[in-house]
Structure 1
């Protein structure tokens, strides 16, 4: 990270999850300097206009407010996920025996190339947007079981940030979901890694969950000499009617967009190769 980045991050207010702004900042629907995800398809352009309309409803009809980082007490099930940390960590360790074979995030989702174009950000994907990886879930059954405690579950994966990796400031594509990170492997010194969400900086802890809204501008960095891994989960944001219905509808329609279809096709192709290689190694 550059000195300029460090200075800017140092100016951010460092908080714990329990600290909340009484008047949280308003969401901005874009990030300066980051090219928005876009496709020439007319259907896609129409879909994204609908998304922009629903996003504004999601802010207005939220049941849990709209802070950048939430107090975990708002989500009582988070403690059940934290309690499963030892089992999840053990399953992760087995996955990491083939860490070099895991895909860079941009290799699955081409649109991630706006913020990452190397293999410094890897993933191991269990489910997302109606697709479940049977092989990966079979390899991580305790991780999968723990995530069944999460209402409105959408996406489950391990997120692996290699030494020196910095994900620049960006905004998630849609504010109808919230994100959970459970710290799994958090190297020292902890002061050298973290995530900024709007003006709040959180530094991961092993066995501790943080829940945030990735629709706010955020960035993450690992300036330690070791790998950082978190459990990365997206779930539906709790909303009142009619926003909850529109949100459910959009998330179910999202699987038909090129953003999701291409990512799922890439995941299936990678998975086929990954497990064929594993079988070949066993036979050898």
Structure 2
């Protein structure tokens, strides 16, 4: 995520991405992992933790075969100061509720509060009719082999090694 957020005010706790699984994180959160494994078409899952005062600038996804979902776990008050804009529409998270959107539209996020915002961030394969469903399945499989996913996987594995060393 360094491309859109080069500082350390947006943290993630990663579970899955396009066939890669962070086994250690899954082991640390067995109930969350059990629930995630039941979601049909799940491609990406992580906790997204946005620090107070953080703004993620406008960006957009590149693949129409995905629908993004945020399950709000912790939303600071006042609600109007913690928001997402997708295209021309502004939305606010509500704890325990989901927010679905197409991330290929320009979107940006603000947390103009004094507390952390936490969502369970999910990318789910867009349900499509045959034959597009087959094309989307293939594209989603190929994404797992793309350089961006391979670099992210390597970065995550390096972080895991550093984290384990800190615990010793």
Query: Is the shorter-chain TM-score for this pair beyond 0.5, marking a shared fold?
Result: yes
Report the RMSD for the aligned CA atoms in angstroms.
Answer: 1.1
Q: In 1, Cα distance between the equivalents of 2:130 and 2:88?
A: 30
Please show how residues 68-107 of structure 1 align to structure 2 within 5 Å. Answer: 105-106=1-2
Q: In 1, Cα distance between the equivalents of 2:43 and 2:166?
A: 29
Residue 269 of structure 1: CA displacement? 0.8
Residue 250 of structure 1: CA displacement? 1.0
| Residue number in structure 2 paired with 1:239 | 128
Q: Which has the higher strand share?
A: 2
Residue 119 of structure 1: CA displacement? 0.5
Q: In 2, Cα distance between the equivalents of 1:199 and 1:135?
A: 39
| Residue number in structure 2 paired with 1:268 | 157
Q: In 2, Cα distance between the equivalents of 1:196 and 1:161?
A: 15
| Residue number in structure 2 paired with 1:250 | 139
Residue 220 of structure 1: CA displacement? 0.7
1:159 aligns with 2:42: no
* Larger Rg computed on CA atoms: 1
Q: Which runs of 5+ in 1 are unaligned?
A: 1-104, 107-112
SS of aligned partner of 1:256: coil
1:213 aligns with 2:102: yes
Q: In 1, Cα distance between the equivalents of 2:35 and 2:107?
A: 26
| Residue number in structure 1 paired with 2:81 | 192
Q: Which runs of 5+ in 2 are unaligned?
A: none
SS of aligned partner of 2:144: helix
Q: Which has the higher helix share?
A: 1
Residue 275 of structure 1: CA displacement? 2.3
Task: Say how many residue pairs are matched.
Answer: 168
Q: In 2, Cα distance between the equivalents of 1:213 and 1:235?
A: 11
SS of aligned partner of 2:43: strand
TM-score (norm. length: structure 1): 0.57
Residue 276 of structure 1: CA displacement? 2.9
